[in-house]
Chain A
């Protein structure tokens, strides 16, 4: 066991573990950041998506030994902590489109969308299908999510995202 220093949502955390331990497990169980969800543990469903140095990543298959010193942003770090805080434009767009049913995939979808818009600010349907291919909504709200992503792109142009990178 060794100590790892993780920078999550602008705060520094020291955690004990093995280098191969999953970042998602540390986020959820050591740091109490349960907004990132466990869905498959294989990097194939996207429920655990976070931003690492400005790139969307599947935290269930990211090893803590690989992210020391990098800036990690979870869904909790996207908007302010307080309950009434202004939402991130991507969150606003998902809420406005009601692009969810059970909501379990939503934090991961939101984070993946934040990552998508950083690389493709004005995505087409094909861009969205390709870049979000590893994000599953089993309730099948994909048509609404596509609308939300496009709406988020419009909102982001007027209110730039606040992601630490």
Chain B
């Protein structure tokens, strides 16, 4: 692993962001007092605890936030009212990763109240403390302890209040089930203790260690699960505001296209329709959704489309050609000096086996089922935008910047949303809805069509990964050269012990808009690395598991690798005609190994079984974790087997659900999940890492069926490509 700070490449800065045009001002020194007053103003009297971190955790670096490392930085709130109701505030968003439930468990556990007593206000820039965004699997390792300490502090304050009320030593008091209890049996409810007060505290208490967990570590049900099975949950596209109009954008037919002539006379004739034109921005607003679509269809635009844009076939040469150029485009930054250790030339000379390959990684799409959507409403010089984004405060900045407003004139609220997978870091939909709403003089809802979501969101970066590596006669790695062009640097360093290394990330000019994705580049980097390890083992005549263990000193990776191998029955497949493959790795502080079983089929091969072993420290919610791990595996199947964006001439050629194949019921083999609960270790994030080894496990298994090309999706040399279309 990269312990040397010189080799830290700050993956988030490159992979999570579009151009860094955002500035945040440090909070003024009286932020505590003002924030307390704000919470009392919204919530009424009672008890408030502000959770502040003295120094921002290094790994939480998203966009440049250097100005926010002041001691007054508030991370979260807890408010308790006179009726004993607890409201917790966090800037995190719920995107299906179950943060609302897992954070509720933490607060309820520390405060010693039932889960039902807690309400969470999440991701409302007027109400919740600043948060950089919900990405990088940071909610459990970073936000949960903050809220836990705040809840523990609230509990201790309540015990102090009871001690003062009864004039007894607090040492004899205990908090339980929403009450403080004295040794003589007297009890008082939290609500009675908080009634009529305006008590504010800053976090002082520590958080309980896992051996003292009661609610944490248990499979608490999703707190509002019922609203999803009844259809009552209000996602952004479901929101309605008084006098709301419906917006439709007129999109260019290709990237870089500019309007030459616009005829909107047909649309303007429709009563109640606003046509909004502002440079390349062209949209309509109508009173009804169907009327808006009809009005948009009545606008005719002649476009100038630039030629010579790269295609999904030529993109790999383009990425290598433009590497390190710092060229314009969304990828031209974030590289760093390569990691160089030892003497590669000498080590290569002394190697018994050398394997070289160049792996191609295509762009893939997130395809969140809830497309980008926003409702914008202007009042008194302020705009409120409800929208699905993983970065509510970032989107607040984007909107403020787009309209030349101070940030306190913009409020962004994120209803629990229909997923993101890293694909909703940006706020174009919020800006567009706000622009339409300002022109129409009424609230406007804008919901992207599926074609817009494909074409005008962003993709997981395409890339080329060149690997050269050698082993000696004993099966030990001698050298490791790893050059990643454009994919990104997450998961770039090898966890294997290699004395001679050169590891580099080369940002390139990406022809398509690209950004974050579940697991970031760790999936691409794990694919190239683990496929290469598999090839080295085969070239050396060694068992791929034994070869890895020989070159691995990280005990946590070894543990998951051995667990997965044992579970799938390595090295022998359970049935003849099947082939096994395996891969392992670590990312974002958690550890994963995936084993796959495949068999020959009419269109190449078919995955018949997946085993995954996963370790992320102490498990907060075992059922929620299992759900996340299974989901990661299923999502990983898409990128491993058939997902790839095809494009040419500035157009996405498979930007529909019919032509861009995502995993469906029929694609999912039996998945066996082995969870390793390490109560002795802090909890790490778990929503992303299980995805990273799916493709190399399948790829190595497919090598038992035929020659596998060095690319994603996993493709046999003579594969006719039948898997790539929904049909």
Known contacts being A138-B635, A142-B634, is A102 close to B229, with CB within 8 Å? Answer: no
CB < 8 Å: which of A74, A79, A87, A104 contacts B370? A104
Q: In the bound complex, how far is the Cα of B294 from the Cα of A29, in angstroms?
A: 15
Chain A residues, CB < 8 A from B628: 101
Chain B residues, CB < 8 A from A28: 238, 289
Query: A-side binding surface: helix, strand, loop or mixed?
Result: loop
Q: In the bound complex, how far is the Cα of B95 from the Cα of A133, in angstroms?
A: 24
B409-444 to A contact mask, C-beta < 8 Å, 1/0: 000000011110100000000000000000000000
Shortest CB-to-CB span from A98 to chain B, Å, is: 6
CB < 8 Å: which of B96, B233, B726 contacts A101? B96
Closest A residue to B635 by CB, please name it: A140
Known contacts being A37-B418, A139-B96, A140-B632, is A132 close to B231, with CB within 8 Å? Answer: no
**Pairwise interchain contact B447-A38, C-beta atoms closer than 8 A:** yes
Which of B389-397, B501-509, B656-664 is the interface stretch?
B656-664
Q: Indicate whether B577 reaches chain A with its CB closer than 8 angstroms.
A: no
Instruction: Count A/B pairs, Cβ under 8 Å.
Output: 173
Chain B residues, CB < 8 A from A143: 630, 668, 671
**Pairwise interchain contact B230-A37, C-beta atoms closer than 8 A:** no
Q: Indicate whether B633 reaches chain A with its CB closer than 8 angstroms.
A: yes
Known contacts being A40-B656, A128-B665, A138-B368, is A104 close to B419, with CB within 8 Å? Answer: yes
CB < 8 Å: which of B222, B238, B367, B665 contacts A142? B665
Chain A residues, CB < 8 A from B449: 41
Q: Indicate whether B288 reaches chain A with its CB closer than 8 angstroms.
A: yes
Chain A residues, CB < 8 A from B233: 103
A115-154 to B contact mask, C-beta < 8 Å, 1/0: 0000000000000111011011111111111100000000
Shortest CB-to-CB span from B723 to chain A, Å, is: 15
Q: Indicate whether A17 reaches chain B with its CB closer than 8 angstroms.
A: yes
Known contacts being A45-B369, A79-B230, is A39 close to B450, with CB within 8 Å? Answer: yes
B211-224 to A contact mask, C-beta < 8 Å, 1/0: 00000000001100
The interface centre, meaning the residue of B97, B225, B632, B726 with most chain A CB atoms within 10 A of its CB, is: B225
Q: Indicate whether A76 reaches chain B with its CB closer than 8 angstroms.
A: yes
Q: Indicate whether A3 reaches chain B with its CB closer than 8 angstroms.
A: no
Give the interface residue-count category, chain A: 35 or more
**Pairwise interchain contact B229-A110, C-beta atoms closer than 8 A:** yes
Closest B residue to A84 by CB, please name it: B226
**Pairwise interchain contact B229-A34, C-beta atoms closer than 8 A:** no
Shortest CB-to-CB span from A60 to chain B, Å, is: 10
Chain A residues, CB < 8 A from B632: 140
Shortest CB-to-CB span from A34 to chain B, Å, is: 4
CB < 8 Å: which of B240, B293, B623, B630 contacts A32? B240
Q: In the bound complex, how far is the Cα of B293 from the Cα of A24, in angstroms?
A: 14
Q: Indicate whether B666 reaches chain A with its CB closer than 8 angstroms.
A: yes
Known contacts being A29-B290, A34-B234, is A142 close to B369, with CB within 8 Å? Answer: no
A75-89 to B contact mask, C-beta < 8 Å, 1/0: 110110001000100
Q: Indicate whether B631 reaches chain A with its CB closer than 8 angstroms.
A: yes
Shortest CB-to-CB span from B418 to chain A, Å, is: 3
Chain A residues, CB < 8 A from B419: 101-102, 104, 138-139
Q: Indicate whether B371 reaches chain A with its CB closer than 8 angstroms.
A: yes
Closest A residue to B97 by CB, please name it: A101
Q: Indicate whether B98 reaches chain A with its CB closer than 8 angstroms.
A: yes
Q: Which residues of A contact B (CB under 8 A)?
A: 17-18, 21, 25-26, 28-30, 32, 34-42, 44-45, 47, 74-76, 78-79, 83, 87, 91, 94-95, 98, 100-107, 110, 128-130, 132-133, 135-146
User: What are 29 residue pairs bridging A and B, where the CB atoms are less than 8 Å apart in the complex?
Assistant: A26-B290, A30-B288, A35-B232, A39-B371, A41-B449, A42-B657, A76-B231, A78-B230, A79-B230, A83-B232, A87-B226, A98-B623, A100-B229, A101-B627, A102-B95, A102-B419, A103-B96, A103-B225, A103-B228, A105-B369, A128-B665, A129-B664, A129-B666, A135-B665, A136-B657, A138-B369, A140-B637, A140-B663, A144-B627
The 7 closest A-B pairs by CB, nearest first: A35-B231, A140-B634, A102-B96, A104-B418, A103-B228, A75-B231, A101-B96
Beyond A102-B96, A142-B664, 8 additional contacts (C-beta under 8 Å) are: A28-B238, A34-B237, A91-B230, A101-B628, A102-B369, A107-B229, A130-B666, A140-B635
